[in-house]
Structure 1
Amino acid sequence: MPTRIKKFIIIFILGCNFIAYSQIEDTKDSIQVKDSIENYLINASEAINTARLSTALYNITQARELALANQDKTYRAKTNRVLAELYLELGDLKSAKEQIKKAIEIQNEQQNEIALANSYNVCGSIHTKLKEFTDAEKHLQLASSLIKKNNLETLEGPVKINIGLLALEMNQPEVAIKHFNNGLPKIESLGQSYYKAKLYTNKAKAQMILGSLDEAIATNDLAMLIGTEMGYSEIQSESFELYSRIYEKKEDFKTSLTNLRSHQQFKDSLFNINKEIIAQEARAKLNIGDDKVKIEELTEENKQQQKSLKLGRLTTILSIALITILSLLTLSLYKNNNLRARANELLQNKNTELILAKENAERASEAKVQFLSTITHELRTPLYAVTGLTHLLLEESPTPNQKEHLNSLKFSGEYLLSLINNILDLNKLEANKVEIENTSFNLQKRINDVLIALGKSAKDRNNKLHYEFDKSIPSKLKGDPLKISQILINLIGNSIKFTQNGDIWIKVKMINHIENKVFLNFEIKDNGVGISDKKQQSIFENFTQGSVQINRKFGGTGLGLSIVKNLLSLMDSEIKLESELGQGSRFHFDLKFDVFEDVVSNYQEEAKKIDYSVMIDKKVLVVEDNKINQLITRKILEKNKMVCDVADNGDIAINKTKNNEFDLILMDIHMPGISGIEATKQIREFNTEIPIVALTAVTLDDNLDEFYNNGFNDIIPKPYKTEEFFTKLHKALSKKTITS
């Protein structure tokens, strides 16, 4: 065989092998392309289910490009169907309808029944959303027929859900539940978690419409569980919305609002994503069309030239940018170093000043706390003698004239105690930490008591008090009577102080009465010296008076109006002032009160119910170092037929308790030697049954736990009201009687 022929044969064989190899490679490439498209569409469907719509759009775009480039109608139709699902999720029903129509046209041409079953199912869902119920029913029936004919198990559950949704939209909740229940076994057997969650959500809606609210909650719980575990954001959002509607029907509006807010949070986040997706879709429409394919006219050489040109331009731009940035960075670092050095030095100086100021403030605060602790006890101890002796004198059958004076003295003592507490707690007032009580009282009587207490001061300055009280105001109100008294005493006292040979008007009138609430206006007006415009701006500040001359002439602390302002602020009101030098002043404010409805909770009413026979012949040990206080407490107890013994300090109290039988111990706290707390701790070591009540002048606001933890059964602050005193004694003795 000639050599040329051999060469030709060899070349021919190599050529055939090359062609065959190329065909094999082309087939492999085609399979790989189809696999890629299929993967993109699967990823897109999963992303739609989990509300990752931007991811879904990306995968659809990639699948569509490959399908168009390879002129593959089958996958173009599949892409159109998945894109219709995305538009349906976005709420763009018009675009969804257009895309599913294109998919069905191609699949009808190809007579692809499996693909048509999917598309008819999606088409039915779109028509349901558009309220086109006839078309929806038609397409869902076509889908069901093809699913049954081709034994498409994976579509049996989803189409049942869509048929149920159609029934639900047509206001047939019983029919909807029937279809949902029919589809559930197949969905569960195939592990279709998304469709299972969707089924439960819509079944719960149907149950809610039928009024089975508890069943609806239970079914919605199942949907929420799957949605949370699988990360189905749209399912979670729908479940929260459904919870909100169900609990609204149950009139549990608080739970309804909580779930509505959770639903809104999901919707807000999804909406932001949707805006981005819609923008991306718009861009995609510009770059991808059904009639476009990739441009094949560009040669590889042109592509390389374009790449080189772009790379060169990019390199030049980056080089210029890098040089500019480095230059600016160097300049910035130089300036920053100088600024940082100066700033560090300034900060160090300021930090040193702040540390010194902080230490000084802490020392001042500690000194203030120590002073307040000491002055509290020193002020309350003599005040106890005043209130105690007043009570004893009232019990001695005084004449009517004496009784009026003693009641005035008693009221003044209570007011003085309240004033002491408010002065000592002025910082708490300003920090809004003082609590407002809510007890029943007679406002008219309360103001009468204030006027009686201030009557002598007014008479001494030859002032006339004019009192007008609106008769339509209910006799019993609920509020804080002590703070009302304090406000009025400060304001009326202020008018008396700055008025000579004049008149003072006190007016209380009703503004409005709505159901069980009354709105009252208080006015205190005088024709005294008045206040200048300049001083009106600062008159309500702490320790402030009109001038140094006024302070020397009239005296006072300058705290009265500051306390009034703070107290009214706590009661959601404010003091208003109208004044003119030489023409007098007018203070007025509004307050809201509840009308009292026979709810008794104060010590006066409780004291009326006390069985005083429980106290007869009971042995009480009074532990008190102040002789006057000993005398007062002893007389009060013996007047009620109780046997009283006295101990001057804690050590004596411990010994007397060991050697004698007592029914009750009244224990002072601050005493020479060991304190009342330490004495109580030692008594509790050998006697845990005897009631021990703290009778103390210390401030209790922050120390209650300390008293109870160290063995006290109860606490009576001095000076006390007699009603409170006997109520707590009766309570302690009654418990002991029951125990023994």
Structure 2
Amino acid sequence: MPWLTTALAAATVAAGGLHTAGIDGPWLPVALGAGGATLATALAEALRARVQAHRHTGVQARAAMAESERDGLRRDLQRHDQLEQELVRAKQAAESAAMAKGEFLATMSHEIRTPLNGIVPMLEMLSRAPLAPDQREMLATATASSHQLLRIVDDILDYSKLEANKLDLEITGFNLRELLDSVLQLMYRPAENKGLKLSLQLDPAVRLPVRGDPVRLRQVLTNLVGNAIKFTDRGSVTLVVRRLGETAAQHLLRFEVRDTGIGIDEDARGRLFHSFSQADASTTRLYGGTGLGLAICRRIVDLMGGRIDVVSEVGRGSTFWFEAPLMKVIGDLRQRDNGALDHGRVLIVSPDARLRQRLTLLVTNWGMQPVAVETTQEALDRLRLVSEQAQQDYLAVLADISGIRSTALALHRAITRRPLPDSLRLVWLYGDETVPTELHARATSLSRQSPDADLRAALTGAAPERDQEVEAPMVEEIFPVTSGPHIPETATPAFATTPVIAEAAPEIPSQPEPAVVSAMRIEPRLLLVEDNPVNLLVAQKLLSALGFECETAANGDIALKRMQVEHFDLVLMDCQMPVLDGYAATRRWREIETERATGGRLPIVAMTANAMAGDRQRCLDAGMDDYLAKPVSREQLEGCLNRWLPDRMNFVLRNAALAAPVEPAPVAPAVATARAPAPSFPVLDQTMLEELREIAGDETARIITVFLEDAPRLIATLEKAAAIPDLDAMRDAAHTLKSSSANVGAMALSAAAKRVELGARARKLERPAVAVALVIAEYARARMALQGYAAQQLGRPLIPQPATTPQSSPSSLVSR
């Protein structure tokens, strides 16, 4: 080491110097001590220098290391800044893409719906015209294609709303059975085209009046049933609704859609409820579809607070199910009084296992004891045991005539020949076929489509009970305000094979009109604001079909000018127009109304192809009162007009019923199928007419003629009484019309009159004019059917004579 070498050299030099100087003896230790001290000093200095050198080297190393670390941090910060800038740019690009997608969907929705608005309603109106069979087939194809395109557009828009969390549920009261029937009615034709059996199994314990979002519930069910039909080539599709339980405010229901289709393998089930996915790629090519339906269903069920899943086996079918809570209606906690139903036995006869199961559940739920058998012989054996073994007698026999037609007469005779035949009620259930005349004695006939309340009444002999949980006026239950008065345009009379749009009624005998009718004869004025000539023509045709004429304006500016100088009852306003759009025009008109301070508000309804989330709210925020998305169907427009012009819609109904020309209708037996669910009462009961013909013979035509002469007088009395209103007079006139119409088999008219009578008697007839409008519409249908019956069954056309005196009423010929 350098410092040690230096110290040794110094010691050597010192010793040499001492020796040369001749220092020896006692001075030698002193000299050596001094040399040692010098050596120690040199060693200490050398060590200090070494330490300082090491310290300096460490400082330099640490400084170099720190500098290197600073350079590394500087580079990391630069990379972080670059990544952050890239993320910001990516986020901005994603937001721009999402915005562009939304704008694209909105634009495409508007652009696709605009031509569809010229296609769908026109095809609908064309379907009401007389067409050759091949033309009607081509029309059906075009209609199905247009609706399919509209469903695809709606699916994409719904998914866009769900993705943006902008789809909300609208809670309202509705009847679950009516909703289920509407789903099956919509799906009946696709199922029929594939030869599939479509059926409903509804647990009798399920409460029918509920609160929820009927539109979204119907959407889920329609999607699931439609998928089941699509993927099923043979067999059946069944919609099952069961009650799982309840809380203080909710019913928990389980909906199942069972099919016998192709099934789904286990690997594919996990993908089913994802967006744009089906079981495999070939499925889309074979069956079509966007792959969004089940994803939309899952999101809607999630919004409802439920869950959805599937159980499936390849080659044997699938069951899609979801559970969802529905809110209770007011008064749903009240318990029914079963009364005489308790402990009564009912004998159910049907070879159809599903029908037996449903009837068994119904009877059990009503507090009765069901005994179900498959054949007539089994039923006869059961009845024989009652007398032979002194068993408890049956309250009623409920028989499905379509399954035991060949042996039904034997069952009927066995019951009517009992010692006390009236103690056992006999109820026939029929489908498409009619009940033979010989089976009518001491029996009640009901269509399979009849409400459960009617079946319950037939078994007990009591008046039909209607659900009282939905606390609404009696007429509201017949004529729901939300859907508007029902013009009998699609109902087929019992003796007509073509749709009845507006049947005629005989001319009312000339007499002073009630004040309310005179006031209603002021034709409502509508302003249609539309710049597209196709949409303009379509809307005019739709309004004309509903009995309305309208004025037109090509943009909002022209509309404003007309609205300031003319009186209108309602404005149908397009939103996107040149010069001045619908939003600005509406806002300006509301300002004008405020300045005028008249206190009135002109209803303005948006008619727009914009159907994205927020479009409805944008219209309402602009001051519009309602919203119709194009393409607008006749039913949607009719419901809207009824909401804002209810009295004038009644006027249109009355004029359509009383002024339309009548064409004799060909005779055909009435049928009640899922294709068009039959009403509770037929327009014309052929059986009653045949019984009348047996009694009256050649006088049958005269009896019908007298009824057609006298009924207008009763209807005029009803109108006068409704104008006051005089409920007592309405009750009396409705009672007479109820009995006289029943005498000639006009059962739907009789039922309508009976509802007016009961409502007037109970003082619950809150909208008398609406109830009378329904009676008038039913009378028009009955008149048309009676004229067709007389022309083809009696071989003579009816020639009504003026009804001059009350003595010419049917009551003088047939007892009330």
TM-score w.r.t. structure 2 length? 0.42
Q: Higher helix fraction: Structure 1 or Structure 2? A: 1
Larger radius of gyration: 1
